[in-house]
Structure 1
Amino acid sequence: MTVKPLAAKSLFTRTDLTSRDIQSTDDLEDIEALIGQQRALGAVRFAASMQQRGYNLFVIGPKGSGRHMAVKRFLEERGGELDAPPDWVYVHNFDKPYSPKAIAVPAGRGEPFRRAMLELVSDLKAVIPTLFESEDYRLRTDAVNKTAAEKQQHALEGVDKEARKHGLTLIRTPQGFAFAPLSGKKPMAPETFQQLPEEAKKRYQDATKSMMEELQKVLHGLPMIERDRLRALRKIARETARHVIDQEISDVEKVMTSCDAVLSYLKTVADDMVEHIGLFMHSEEEGPLALPNGGGESAVESDPSTRYQVNVLVANRPTDGAPVIIEDHPALSKLVGRIEHYARMGTLITDFTLIKPGALHQANGGFLLINADKLLLNPMSWEALKRALYAGQITIESPYMTSATATVVSLQPDPVPLDLKIVLFGDYRLYLLLSSLDPDFQDLFKVAADFEEVLERTPENDQLFARLVATIARNNKLRPFARDAIERVMEHAARIAGDAERVSTRVGLIADLMREADHWAGEVKAKSVARTHVQEAIDAQIHRADRVRERSIEQITRGTVLIDTDGAKVGQVNGLSVLQIGSFAFGKPSRISATVRTGAGKVVDIEREVELGGPLHSKGVMILSGYLARTYAPDAPMSLAATLTFEQSYGGVDGDSASSAELYALLSALSEVPVDQSLAVTGSVNQMGEVQAIGGANEKIEGFFDVCAARGLTGRQGVLIPASNVKHLMLRDDVVQACKEKKFRILPIRTIEEGIETLTGKKAGARGADGKYPSGSINRLVEDRLVAFAKARFKAAAKAKTGQ
């Protein structure tokens, strides 16, 4: 069977927009949504509208696919249809100072509430001091003070009256109160007292002792008089301030009439202000205005502007609808909020005004978008997010609270009720890992939006893709792209997709190419971007990244790495692999060799034995072993020992795309028929001998072509590829041109028989009616060799047995 080389038209599928009325991107409208993503956007729509718990969204797709832009745009439109969520504020908790209260206020009312409270405090600071300087207040306090003084004086006068009956009088001394003997109506002089008879002295002393007991009883009652005085003064102070405070607070109530929680808070504020009137005085007061707790170490205790401040945690505008927030750095404090501290006297302290919001607060009532890989780099954030979603509330977790040895005083603010949709972005691998390793993931993220990576090339989709190009050009303020430039961008999108019948939807890569093409157009002062500028951008991208590829080709052409591109060798085939360096992939030929001898039917994969081969490569070797057994020894064990290796391969090898090349090497070694070295091979094989599609067909073909071109094209050189890979070909212009000029060949192979015939020039052969392969065919030669191995093994076994 003769395999014909592919025609040039099969090697590259051009885009032709000449039938459409398009001269440049100026003739095209912007596209409203990502093309070909109806399934994914339907999942986004469902998750956004589903109100039950756990229906958060995981968006699957590669980076640069436009998924962020598409989801964000859709959610912004959806959010605009929803009511704006309430503002959230924190205020001081007068009963539990270390547990600030969280209050929800209507959207847009948080900031007016804060300003109203600042104005309230400012007004009271100005008004209250004048109240205590008024004539009415002075008269009322003077009356209280006078009454208390009179009570004290009356009590002391009673003691003095009783003392006079005993010839004594009550006097004040620097040390307090004392009794002195009377001389007439005046206290007796000490000298006179000393001249008195001892009997008189004793009588005065006894009377003094008795009166001191009476005096002590009176003195014990004086604090009660002072207590009553202070209580009366405080009552006057409260009554004096209460009316003004209530009047000022009523102005704030008018601003916040629709919020019951705020009205309840304002009642507690009024009571607290009455109890802390001293906070509003210009200087520290002695007496009733300084009590209780008129000042303190913290700003909350000493400054009314802080004590009655409103900390607006989240402020929403009523006209904005539900928020859509992107958190690019989901550390714990950025996610759930934080409590800041400041140093004072060598100690870290805080108060409710230092509570800061996290992304969950800002997105509450709307949508929060996070890259899953960044979130998982912060394990505390991932666990905190799950706790918040399960609990339905946001608890601010201070790092000082999580440390077992921390002695810093912190706060425990009221949790904020949580009602939002979380949208995580990640690739399929990450989605599978989370699904299998985290039991909470599927419970919390019940919806997956799987974005397509490729789009079928149809006339309708070509039109949509052209509009996408126009949209990118306008959004990035690029020059207009001419029709041939649009066609080249679409062709390169097919190359990115690795499929002539598909185009890649990775908008990021397409936009990068367009920006670079615009740059090259600018270098030559072009007014629009042409096909040549797009090609120049593609070539420049490759040139910047292909140093390793050039060194690889150089090593082959200099003979350092042994690759034959002419002649014929037994048991030796040129295999092809793909190397990936960053975003740049290129093909590289490798020599695959096989040796055979009598043995126990085992094919040894040297790469696996030295742990350089991956599981997929080992699977491919096992499959070709199955093919050998099925084809040549269906009824008896094979007496074969074979080894396979990638020559001069010092890195890992994985994938089964070389299994057909390995099988060809084995067949050549068994049949002792040489393989044409001007051909390279790629493709996997199944146990039925069918050659199967592989990835990276374009890169592999170009990799062998570059080596052949460096040595000189002969017209015999070429690559055997699976026939099922033909639809994937989007080869470089130089490869297509060489094939067109019959200097290089691309040969589509369907079966191992086709491949071995192409490589050796001999017929593979099929079993005849007698069950045997034709004489001289590859299959006959292989079978005869295996029979010889079996006889040799049987003979060796018999000899060994006889020797025993």
Structure 2
Amino acid sequence: MTMRNLKEELRLSWEDLCWLGPPQGLVETTTAEIQPQHEIIGQERAVKAIKLGLVIKSKWYNIYVAGINGTGRTATVKKLLEELHSEGPIPNDLCYVNNFKNPDQPRLLILEAGRGAAFKQQVTDLIGSLQKKIPAIFESEEFQSARNEIVSRHMGAQKALFKNFENKVSSENFMMVQVQVGPFTRPDLAPVIVGNPMKIEQLEALVEEGKFSAEELERLKSKYKELSMEMEKIFKEARDIDKTIQEDLEKLSREWVQPLLRDLTDAIREQHKSDAVNTYLDELEADIVNHLDRFKPRIVPSPGAGEAPGPPVLLPPDPSQFTDYEVNVLIDNSDTKSPPVVVETAPTFRNLFGTIERVMDRHGIWFSDYRHIRGGSLLKANGGFLILNAYDVLTEPGVWQGLKRSLRNGVMDIQSDPFGFFFASALKPEKIPINLRVIMIGDPDLYDLLHWYDEDFRKIFKVKADFDYQLPNTEGNLQKLLGFVSRVCSEENLLPCDDSGVRAIAKLAIRWGGRKNKISAQFERLADLTRESDLEARSAGATVISSQHVEQANRNRIERVNMIEDKIQELIEEGTLMIDTQGFRVGQINGLSVYAFPEFSFGRPSRITVKTSMGKSGIISIEKEAELSGHTYDKGVLILAGFLRDRFAQDKPLNLTASITFEQSYSGVDGDSASSTELYGLMSSLSGTPIDQGIAVTGSVNQHGEIQPIGGVNQKIEGFFKVCKAKGLTGSQGVIIPRRNVDDLMLDQEVVEAVKRGEFHIWAIDHVDQGIELLTGVPAGEPDENGEYPEGTINYLVNLRLEELSRGMKEYESAEGRDEEEGKKEEEQGGGAEPVP
């Protein structure tokens, strides 16, 4: 086959370079006529997995939704939740109330949905009613009569006690007096002398003066001591009577209040059939009857004229005294109609698990109690579904460990934020049982890390839903894609797309999908493209979105992020980065590489040079020696040696030293897509045959010489085309690619048009022999039955050169061996001779 025939046979037509679409058109007029697509597009594998996690009732079947951004993961999950769980049991309300016996351990009340707020209001009404009715009871004539009867009965006994004692004291010629002790007075006894009470100390002074009998003084002292002890006993009995009065009055108050309190609490019990509620109300009743003073009016002085206070006035009880009776409704599901679906976009420790807030009282002191316990999204989703972003969960301090602990144990322990400003609270609220399905959305790499290194993750998240980044390019999926575009235009009031517009969007969707038979599943990216195309159409005064608007929007998108590509292109055009696109060179070839960034990737040519010589070092990669290469690149270089040994070293040793490098490359290389390119440069150097610099090459090679597919083929072709266009298209330039990459071609329209005009070419090959013939114009050569290659072919010239290197190495080693042998003989002869004087 002649060179011209080989080029024609391997050259791709312009129709092979992109997706053309159906000839009849995708839409008759515009997308306005297409029914908007609201259903999930593709993702059958992921949908099946999510349904399993949503339907199965066993615990720990939480779901990890894996996939790249923009593939509709969150929207799909929400859609499936709407379909599968639009109806179902509504979760209970959760309330915290005071634990009157141990305030540091608030009680949890679990009530039917919507009953929490009602219970709170009932308790509030109960306390409000008691604030009015208890004072009314205490002010009633019946209560006052019963109270006065108790007081008068006990006070009569107390008066009789004191009267009897006073009579006894008087009969002993003593008198009860009040003595000053500091700022206070206290009762005491004094003997009556000549009708006047006198202190014992005064009598002692009279005895010393001889004016009073010492014997009489001793008698009075003895009687004073006896009566004082009896007085102490009398006062103790009086205090006991006071205490009895107080206890009887409190008992009376309880007896009068308890029937009222029981009637009010029974009304609440009737509406909440719950042991926990009954226990709480019992404790509530006990606390109220033990603190009835809270319900009594306050007596405070009124403001008077000047500095003097006015007469006392009665005020209602202080509201702050009743805060212990408030109900903290943690979760209120009164408006919930189906199992809750909560999307937590900021899963901090506080937002996810709740907290115990600290507040400052009127005295400036920080405190917290059960009223300041706050629930988080985990409780809001209890009985339903919680959607989280995996990266956010793992990067927020303490959240991942807390989430695992809660799901593993099935209970949640609310605590103050351990990473907050304040120290931890002493409150230990009763733990809350939880039962929900957590759906965590993240990328596949994060899933792999968790699955390998976190045993709890494997146990708790049993379901993985993998979202594909591409969909099959079928007529059905194309129609769904058009329906999606129609929906975006309709919902966001965008201009409709005509047939050329939707074709342009579809082409980009297929290019982003990576192959002609695939469509990108990044629908958010397609929605952005539609929005930006609408802006271009409106700016041009158009009434519909056409292909030129879509293409311009895409160019603008690329222009926003491709500054580094333009800088490299400038360096090539200036000659700073040396790339030849014309002429022939021995051992020099244009390889193609891809620069990948988060929002954009582009290709550019790189000059690869090869130098060969006699030696035993084999193939030396300068990148590897300089530690600028990756493992995959190093593997590709080793494959070259395997190919040469298999083809040319069956009858001789491979005595070769070859150095290969990417010229002007300083940031490192990886991947094996340049291995075939390096092999062509190696064969050119060995054969002495020059390579056409107007042809760039990409493709990896195996040890059999077969060309294998690579990634980024579109970017690589477009990158070399830009360089050729800048330096001048000759009509003979082009790119050699693996045939297995033809289905991946979705080239820019400018490249397609250049190929269509014959200004640029794409050749698809299967074997290295095809490539070297295209590059050199010299046949590769097929071996005959004796393994000999036709004279003048590339393989013949390579083999001939390797034979020369092998003979040369053999002769060199032989000569070197002879020199060593002669040197040894001279040493032996010199060693036996006499020394010369």
Is this contact kept in 2: 1:180–1:187, CA < 8 A? no
TM-score by length of 1: 0.93
Instruction: Identify the match of residue 803 of structure 2 among 776, 787, 793.
Output: 787
Mapped contact 1:571–1:674 kept (Cα < 8 A) = yes
Distance 1:104 1:446 in 2: 29
Q: 1:297 maps to what in 2? A: none
- Aligned residue in 1 for 2:704: 688
2:161 is the counterpart of 1:143: no
**Pairing of 1:556-705 with structure 2 (within 5 A):** 556-634=572-650, 637-705=653-721
Counterpart for residue 179 of structure 1: 189
Match of 1:309 in 2: 326
Is residue 397 of structure 1 aligned with residue 415 of structure 2? yes
Deviations 1:771-794 (A, max 9, x none): 112211111211222222222222
Residue matched to 2:830: none
**Pairing partner for 1:439 from 444, 455, 463:** 455
Structure 1 residues 548 and 206: CA distance shift in structure 2, 3 A: closer
User: What is the CA-CA distance between 1:409 and the residue it aligns to?
Assistant: 4.2
Distance 2:299 2:765 in 1: 98
1:326 and 2:338 correspond: no
Structure-2 residue corresponding to 1:25: 31
Displacement after TM superposition at 1:167 (Å): 2.8
How far apart are residue 311 of structure 1 and its match?
A: 1.3
Q: How far did residue 258 of structure 1 move?
A: 3.9
- For residue 130 of structure 2, the aligned residue among 124, 133, 148 is 124
Matched, 1:270 2:280: no
Residues 317-466 of structure 1 aligned to structure 2 (within 5 Å): 317=334, 319-344=336-361, 347-400=365-418, 409-466=425-482
Residue of structure 1 equivalent to 2:832 = none
Percent identical pairs in the alignment equals 35
CA separation of 1:283/1:632 partners in 2, compared to 1, >3 Å: closer, same or farther? farther
- Say what the alpha-carbon RMSD is for the aligned residues: 2.5
Q: 1:44–1:787: structure 2 CA closer, same or farther, 3 Å change rule?
A: same
Cα deviation code 1:472-493 (max 9, x no counterpart): 2223332222232222111110
Equivalent of 2:499, from 458, 474, 483? 483
* Cα pair 2:190 2:199 within 8 Å, conserved: no
TM-score (ref. length: structure 2): 0.89
Distance 1:126 1:626 in 2: 100
Instruction: Evaluate the alpha carbon distance shift between residue 212 and residue 591 of structure 1 in structure 2; reply closer, same or farther with a 3 A threshold.
Output: same
Amino acid at match of 1:73: K
Distance change (3 Å), C-alpha of 1:206 and 1:456? closer
Read off the aligned partner of 2:385 and give its amino acid letter: F
1:500 aligns with 2:520: no
Instruction: Tell me the secondary structure at the aligned position of residue 234 of structure 1.
Output: helix
Q: Which amino acid aligns with 1:323?
A: P
What is the distance in 1 between the residues matched to 2:432 and 2:330? 10
8 Å contact 2:734–2:760 — kept in the other structure? yes
Corresponding residue for 2:827? none
Instruction: Pick from 520, 533, 542 the counterpart of residue 536 of structure 2.
Output: 520
Corresponding residue SS for 2:330:
strand
Q: Deviations over 1:384-404 (max 9, x none)?
A: 11111111111123245999x
Alignment of 1:472 with 2:491, yes or no, is: no
Structure 1 SS opposite 2:134:
helix
> 1:279 maps to what in 2?
294
1:296 paired residue number:
none
Q: Report the CA distance between 1:110 and its aligned residue.
A: 1.7
Say if 1:432 and 1:181 are closer, same or farther in 2 by CA, change over 3 A. Answer: closer
Distance in 2, Cα, partners of 1:536 & 1:407: 58
Flag the structure with larger Rg: 2
2:101 maps to which of 92, 95, 99:
95
Please say if residues 356 and 425 of structure 2, whose CA atoms lie closer than 8 Å, have aligned partners that are also in contact. no
Give the match for residue 712 of structure 1: 728
- What SS does the corresponding residue of 1:303 show, helix, strand or coil? helix
Give the whole-Å Cα distance in 1 for the aligned partners of 2:562 and 2:221: 118
**Equivalent-residue separation in structure 1 for 2:278 and 2:229 (angstroms):** 57
Greater shift after overlay, 443-452 or 164-173? 164-173
User: Which is further off, 737-746 or 473-482?
Assistant: 473-482
The alignment status of 1:56 with 2:62, answered yes or no, reads yes
1:735-783: per-residue Cα shift (whole Å, max 9, x none)?
1111011000000011111101100111111221111122111112112
Greater Cα shift, 538-547 or 227-236: 538-547
* In 2, Cα distance between equivalents of 1:528 and 1:481: 5
Deviation at 1:715, TM superposition (A): 0.6
Indicate conservation of the 8 Å contact 1:496/1:503, yes or no: yes
Gaps of 5+ in 1: 286-300
1:295 corresponding residue in structure 2: none
CA distance in 2, matches of 1:402, 1:514: 44
Contact 1:64 1:508 in 2 (8 A): yes
Moved more, 114-123 or 640-649: 114-123
- 1:408–1:566: structure 2 CA closer, same or farther, 3 Å change rule? closer
Please tell me the residue identity of whatever aligns with 1:369: I
| Distance change in 2, residues 1:598/1:541 (3 Å) | same
Q: Distance in 1 between matches of 2:49 and 2:12?
A: 42
Partner Cα distance (2:706, 2:418) in 1: 65
Q: Deviation at 1:323?
A: 0.9
Task: Judge conservation of contact 1:83–1:318 (CA < 8 Å) in 2.
Answer: no
2:38 and 2:484 in contact (8 A); partners too? no
Q: Which residue of structure 1 lines up, in the alignment, with residue 166 of structure 2?
A: 160
In structure 2, the CA distance between the partners of 1:212 and 1:768, relative to structure 1 (3 Å rule), is: same
Q: How does 1:10-49 map to 2 (within 5 A)?
A: 10-16=16-22, 18=24, 22-49=28-55
CA contact (8 A) 1:170 1:178 kept: yes
Q: 1:346 deviation in Å? A: 6.0
Aligned in 2, Cα 1:87/1:653: closer, same or farther, shift over 3 Å?
Answer: same
- After TM superposition, the structure 1 stretch with the greater mean CA deviation from structure 2, 460-469 or 368-377, is 460-469
Q: For the residues of structure 1 that align with 2:100 and 2:754, how far apart are their CA atoms?
A: 86
In the alignment, is residue 217 of structure 1 matched against residue 233 of structure 2?
yes
| Amino acid across the alignment from 1:119 | D
After superposition, the C-alpha distances for 1:222-270 in whole angstroms (9 at most, x for unaligned) are 332222222112112222322332233334334x434443233222212
Secondary structure of 2:576's counterpart equals: coil
The 5 Å alignment of 1:62-73 reads 62-73=68-79
Stretch moving more, 729-738 or 542-551: 542-551
Q: Describe the shift of the 1:190–1:93 C-alpha distance in structure 2 as closer, same or farther (beyond 3 A).
A: closer
Alpha-carbon distance in structure 1 between the residues aligned to 2:197 and 2:607: 133
Counterpart Cα distance in 2 of 1:190 and 1:318: 82
Residue deviations 1:517-553, cap 9 Å, x none?
Answer: 1111222343332222212211211222232222222
Distance 1:215 1:704, change over 3 A: same
CA deviation digits over 1:194-238, x for unaligned, max 9? 776555444333322221222222233333222222211211222
1:238 aligns with 2:254: yes
1:482–1:529 Cα contact (<8 Å) kept: yes
Deviation for aligned residue 1:711: 1.3
* SS of the residue 1:84 aligns to: coil
Kindly state the Cα deviation for residue 509 of structure 1 after the two structures are TM-superposed. 0.5
Alpha-carbon distance between aligned partners in 1 of 2:565 and 2:116, rounded to the nearest angstrom:
62
The DSSP-based 3-state class of the residue aligned with 1:587 is strand
